[in-house]
Amino acid sequence: MARHWTVVTCDLPERMPEIEALAAEHGTVAVGADVAKPGDVDSLFEAAKGSGPLRGAVSCAGVLAKAYLSETTPEMFDHLVDVNLKGNFLVMRAAHQALRRQGRPGSVVVVSSINGLIGLPSQAVYSAAKAAVNSLVTAAAVEGGPYGIRVKCHSSRVDSYRWHEPQGPATTRPRASPSPCAGSANPRIWSVPSAFFSPTSQRT
């Protein structure tokens, strides 16, 4: 996976034994970080700098807690927004800053969700956070374009989904329109965030 590249991956500090084992197996670098914390994201990008110039970032941290809107607590709201929205914002911002300082093009990819396009029961806040991520990616791509920074989000796509009415049977509703995250009218617009890629000439 890391041939010709240095790949820096991250996960929560408490999961470091697991991610370090995977890093050793695949030849990557492991860093413990909580992307919802600005200081952790800064430390993550500092660690990536030691592996060479940043060429791309992938943000895929996320958390889901199911509850109907009427049952969602402010604490649940804060946790879902902190990880799913704020975490992606912090990683995208850090990637933009690093690439602009370097003065060279790069790519950022953000993993979103079908929930950002379709509201599903018991997932109102998660869906709202993912919809906000989609908008954030669009703006980041427009801002990054003049600097050669491509930003794109990946969102799951389905032709149909199962909609469960609270008091009725499940029905299948077709969804014919493509995901707006699947591509872009502007070829300079892409997007990604928690792996960091740097090319290295030492690896063969």
Cite the active site residues.
126
- In this structure, how many other beta carbons lie within 10 angstroms of the beta carbon of residue 54? 24
Separation in Å, CA 130 to CA 5, 52, 83, 110: 30, 31, 11, 10
Query: What H or E segment, with its residue span, contains residue 21?
Result: helix 16-26
Q: Among residues 130, 126, 106, 103, which one has the least CA distance to residue 116?
A: 130
Q: What is the DSSP-derived secondary structure letter of residue 118?
A: S
